[in-house]
């Protein structure tokens, strides 16, 4: 199976795209050949901005365009971030605007035109354009079916073409030309948030929805071909002298579709930092163009640094990247020091963004018509069941499964909406809870069906069919007994499911057994349907099933561990087709620090004895919080002030001791990271699970109820 870290390619290509944007503004080939420079900067480099727009579409819009998501937070988050960036950029470039006299004598309409369409400096049009484009598409997603939206954005792009590269064709159509001339009072170019951005947003979002099995070689060839067509288109339009501007081409659309797919299929690790760095390169580069020109004039090196366009370009690129990296580092430091939770002793942070990204990524693996039914048993694998389920409700999730009836009751009391399926056994004395809290009970075999039926009140149920795991469920071959369940008057059968037990790999044996299970299940269901019994919703897959055998998905996938952004074992990530983001971090407070002198021991049994003088800290977290005791005595570590500190001595019920001799400035009240990132270091649930000889599922589901769960 392919290893496909889909987002890594996007992150890396963003840097390349930012460098192409610098090229557009510095014309690197101009001192050698004007035609070559035209082809490079006015045609080829025009892929850069659509690429940025498509990534926005890819991440932000599928939930609104395809899943009718009601949660406005991702949209608000995007708008807030873009507006903030735009405000910062406006302020940075205000001195340039003032110096160049651009703002002298401008009227109200000009302010409107500059702020909403043109940007206050030549490159800044992109920020208001992406904001406007996203808003336009969001509104369309609320009002129009997707197909109509596609029609509208294509139409807008065509209108845009005639205000851009194809403008000259309107010369003889005075009526239209005048309309455009009037429009150009409102915006200077049609390359803006209305005519240009929406189509690329839709393309990005649509690519996120299609399955990823593209033939790489063919895609590269298709991209090459489209690029050649675009170059021919650009050169022809240039020679015909019809271009008013040169941002929009017809062949740019296929070019971008193929390019984006190639970049997505690159096998690279995702690096969030690169995203921020590319943004700063884009924002800062005009400043560095001015800087390089200024220095060149001062030092009389104009010939080298200005007139040689390649050197000029290279220097601007190097400086822009350097400053962007410095800025990113400074900002990242600022973030680390932010106190997320002011007074807890130890707590769990739930990253909403990661959860949202996992939901959209996993949705791309679902065959059409299939939906996620998150497994939020065991307190949502330690994450906090009510907290998680409510976030999932906001992301459009309307079905859940839990292990026990009381877990179902907890969700209902917490205000969780949707269907809740109890996967496990419920005692007859608790049947009343099923009714009272609108829960759906699993019929674990035909005997249990009779007991439940005898309760005498209508109860919603789903049939569990045992296809080979031999745990819960009526044996698949006992069809008569399964039929008898349909005769239970008080059971309202809303679905039927089975559970796979060998879906963790695709080795020949496992694949064969899994296929047998799938076939058995569907054959029972089809026999039942033939006899006139309707089974309702069907489901077979859990996380590994979705990853390895998506073809078996029925109406639901009971997604558990993957939703939380991890798999059971780290090595399984190698064949995971989507990128998962861990949702949970664990933090603990430093209670106090103290000296430990040479020869002294610490903790129960004095299992650690200092060979030289050491400095230690006491963390307010212990095995009662779910930290495995097997991590004692150097088997585990934590992160503190961006450094690693080993666990020393035996972990206690409520406290853990760490060695901070090599970590500067640790003081009481500081926060240690037990699972999660800190600066550029990270400890994962895999690390803890591996060090204590188990899988992430066990580690996470045993996290203690004493830890507060907070959304971040």
Which residues are at the interface with ligand PLP (CB under 6 A)?
375, 377, 423, 499, 542-544, 558-561
Whole-angstrom Cα distance, residue 336 to residue 585? 14
Least separation in angstroms between residue 197's CB and ligand PLP is 38
Whole-angstrom Cα distance, residue 351 to residue 599? 43
Whole-angstrom Cα distance, residue 94 to residue 102? 10
List, in sequence order, every beta strand (DSSP E) within 310-395. 346-350, 371-372
**Cβ atoms 658, 610 nearer than 8 A:** no
Whole-angstrom Cα distance, residue 44 to residue 566? 39
Using a 10 angstrom Cβ sphere, with 0-12 exposed, 13-18 middle and 19 or more buried, the burial of residue 314 is middle
Whole-angstrom Cα distance, residue 230 to residue 42? 11
Whole-angstrom Cα distance, residue 588 to residue 346? 4
Which is it for the CA torsion 414, 415, 416, 419, positive or negative?
A: positive
Q: Between vectors from CA 74 to CA 73 and to CA 76, what angle results, nearest 5°?
A: 60
> Whose Cβ is closer to ligand PLP: residue 54's or residue 380's?
380
Whole-angstrom Cα distance, residue 376 to residue 352? 16
Q: What is the SS3 assignment for 112?
A: helix
Q: How far is CA 237 from CA 29, 43, 199, 261, in A?
A: 20, 11, 22, 28
> Whose Cβ is closer to ligand PLP: residue 276's or residue 467's?
467
> Among 378, 383, 344, 381, which Cα is nearest to 621's?
344
**Cβ atoms 251, 233 nearer than 8 A:** yes
Least separation in angstroms between residue 560's CB and ligand PLP is 2
> Whose Cβ is closer to ligand PLP: residue 286's or residue 560's?
560
> Whose Cβ is closer to ligand PLP: residue 43's or residue 699's?
699
> Whose Cβ is closer to ligand PLP: residue 130's or residue 442's?
442
Our answer to whether residue 272 is catalytic in this structure is no
> Whose Cβ is closer to ligand PLP: residue 316's or residue 375's?
375
Two tokens, residue 666: 């640790």
**Cβ atoms 543, 561 nearer than 8 A:** yes
Least separation in angstroms between residue 684's CB and ligand PLP is 17
Least separation in angstroms between residue 117's CB and ligand PLP is 48
* Residue listed under structure tokens 């929009």: 248
CB-based closest residue to ligand PLP: 560
Least separation in angstroms between residue 477's CB and ligand PLP is 20
* Residue listed under structure tokens 């470039």: 93
**Cβ atoms 672, 639 nearer than 8 A:** yes
Least separation in angstroms between residue 562's CB and ligand PLP is 6
Whole-angstrom Cα distance, residue 350 to residue 358? 13
> Whose Cβ is closer to ligand PLP: residue 4's or residue 543's?
543
> Whose Cβ is closer to ligand PLP: residue 51's or residue 544's?
544
Least separation in angstroms between residue 525's CB and ligand PLP is 17
> Whose Cβ is closer to ligand PLP: residue 156's or residue 699's?
699
> Among 687, 674, 686, which Cα is nearest to 565's?
686
Least separation in angstroms between residue 579's CB and ligand PLP is 17
Least separation in angstroms between residue 690's CB and ligand PLP is 18
Task: Kindly name the residue from 352, 377, 587, 637 that is annotated as catalytic.
Answer: 377
* Residue listed under structure tokens 């590319």: 278
Task: Kindly name the residue from 436, 594, 604, 667 that is annotated as catalytic.
Answer: 604
Least separation in angstroms between residue 351's CB and ligand PLP is 19
Q: How far is CA 675 from CA 91, 160, 621, 633, in A?
A: 39, 50, 12, 18
> Whose Cβ is closer to ligand PLP: residue 408's or residue 560's?
560
Least separation in angstroms between residue 543's CB and ligand PLP is 3
Whole-angstrom Cα distance, residue 472 to residue 464? 7
Least separation in angstroms between residue 382's CB and ligand PLP is 12
> Among 49, 188, 46, which Cα is nearest to 117's?
188
**DSSP string covering 133-145, please?**
HHHHHHHHHHHS-
In total, the chain counts a number of residues equal to: 712
> Whose Cβ is closer to ligand PLP: residue 14's or residue 499's?
499
Two tokens, residue 118: 């043109």
Residue 424, Ramachandran bin (φ over 0: left; ψ between -120 and 50: alpha; else beta): beta
Q: What H or E segment, with its residue span, contains residue 585?
A: strand 584-596
679-684: long-range pairs with CB below 8 Å, 24+:
679/332, 679/333, 679/336, 679/639, 679/642, 680/332, 680/642, 681/639, 681/642, 681/643, 681/644, 682/639, 683/637, 683/638, 683/639, 684/566, 684/570, 684/582
Our answer to whether residue 516 is catalytic in this structure is no
**Cβ atoms 648, 638 nearer than 8 A:** no
> Whose Cβ is closer to ligand PLP: residue 56's or residue 358's?
358
Residues marked active site are found at 377, 604
């Amino acid at each position: 199976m392919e290893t496909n870290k889909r987002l890594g390619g996007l992150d890396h290509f963003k840097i390349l795209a930012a460098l192409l944007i610098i090229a557009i503004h510095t014309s690197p080939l101009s001192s050698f050949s004007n035609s070559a420079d035209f082809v490079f900067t006015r045609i080829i480099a025009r892929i850069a901005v659509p690429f940025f727009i498509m990534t926005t579409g890819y991440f932000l819009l599928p939930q609104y365009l395809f899943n009718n998501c009601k949660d406005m937070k991702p949209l608000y988050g995007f708008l807030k971030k873009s507006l903030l960036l735009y405000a910062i950029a406006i302020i940075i470039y205000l001195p340039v605007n003032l110096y160049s006299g651009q703002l002298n004598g401008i009227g109200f309409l000009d302010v409107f035109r500059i702020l909403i369409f043109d940007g206050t400096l030549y490159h800044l049009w992109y920020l208001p354009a992406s904001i406007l484009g996203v808003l336009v598409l969001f509104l369309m997603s609320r009002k129009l079916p997707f197909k109509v939206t596609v029609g509208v954005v294509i139409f807008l792009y065509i209108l845009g073409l005639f205000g851009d590269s194809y403008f000259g064709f309107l010369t003889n159509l005075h009526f239209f030309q005048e309309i455009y001339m009037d429009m150009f009072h409102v915006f200077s170019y049609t390359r803006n948030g209305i005519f240009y951005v929406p189509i690329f947003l839709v393309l990005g979002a649509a690519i996120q929805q299609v399955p990823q099995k593209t033939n790489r070689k063919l895609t590269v060839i298709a991209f090459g071909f489209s690029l050649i067509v675009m170059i021919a288109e650009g050169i022809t339009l240039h020679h015909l002298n019809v271009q008013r501007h040169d941002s929009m081409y017809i062949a740019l659309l296929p070019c971008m579709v193929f390019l984006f797919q190639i970049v997505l299929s690159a096998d690279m690790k995702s690096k969030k930092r690169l995203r921020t760095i590319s943004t700063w390169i884009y924002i800062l580069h005009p400043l560095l163009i001015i800087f390089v020109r200024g220095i060149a004039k001062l030092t009389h090196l104009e010939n080298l640094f200005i007139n040689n366009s390649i050197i000029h370009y290279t220097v601007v690129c190097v400086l822009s990247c350097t400053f962007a990296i410095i800025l990113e580092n400074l900002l990242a430091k600022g973030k680390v020091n932010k106190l997320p939770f002011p007074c807890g002793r130890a707590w769990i942070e739930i990253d909403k963004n990661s959860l949202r990204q996992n939901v959209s990524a996993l949705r791309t693996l679902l065959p059409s018509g299939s939906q996620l039914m998150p497994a939020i048993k065991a307190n949502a694998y330690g994450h906090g069941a009510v907290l998680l389920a409510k976030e999932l409700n906001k992301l459009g999730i309307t079905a859940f499964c839990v292990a026990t009836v009381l877990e179902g009751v907890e969700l209902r009391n917490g205000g969780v909406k949707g269907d809740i399926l109890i996967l496990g056994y419920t005692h007859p004395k608790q049947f009343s809870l099923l009714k009272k809290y609108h829960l759906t009970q699993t019929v674990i075999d035909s005997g249990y069906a009779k007991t439940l039926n005898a309760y005498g009140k209508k109860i919603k149920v789903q049939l569990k069919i045992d296809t080979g795991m031999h745990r819960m469920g009526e044996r698949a071959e006992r069809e008569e007994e399964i039929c008898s369940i349909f005769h239970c008057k008080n059971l309202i059968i809303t679905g039927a499911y089975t559970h796979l037990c060998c879906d963790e790999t695709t080795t020949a044996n496992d694949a064969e057994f899994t296929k047998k299970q799938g076939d058995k299940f569907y054959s029972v269901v089809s026999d039942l349907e033939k006899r006139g019994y309707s089974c309702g919703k069907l489901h077979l897959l859990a996380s590994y099933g979705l990853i390895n055998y998506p073809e078996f998905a029925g109406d639901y996938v009971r997604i558990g561990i993957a939703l939380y952004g991890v798999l059971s074992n780290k090595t399984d990530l190698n064949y995971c087709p989507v990128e998962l983001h861990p949702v949970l971090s664990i933090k603990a407070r430093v209670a106090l620090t103290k000296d430990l002198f040479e020869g002294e021991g610490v903790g129960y049994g004095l299992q650690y004895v200092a060979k030289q003088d050491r400095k230690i800290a006491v963390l307010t977290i212990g095995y009662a919080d779910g930290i495995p005791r097997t991590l004692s005595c150097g088997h585990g570590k934590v992160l503190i002030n961006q450094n690693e500190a080993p666990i020393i001595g035996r972990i206690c019920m409520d406290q853990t001791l760490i060695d901070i001799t090599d970590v500067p400035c640790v003081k009481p009240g500081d926060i240690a990271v037990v699972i999660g990132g800190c600066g550029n270091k990270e400890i994962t649930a895999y690390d803890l699970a591996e060090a204590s000889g188990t899988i992430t599922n066990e580690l996470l589901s045993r996290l203690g109820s004493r830890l507060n769960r907070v959304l971040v």
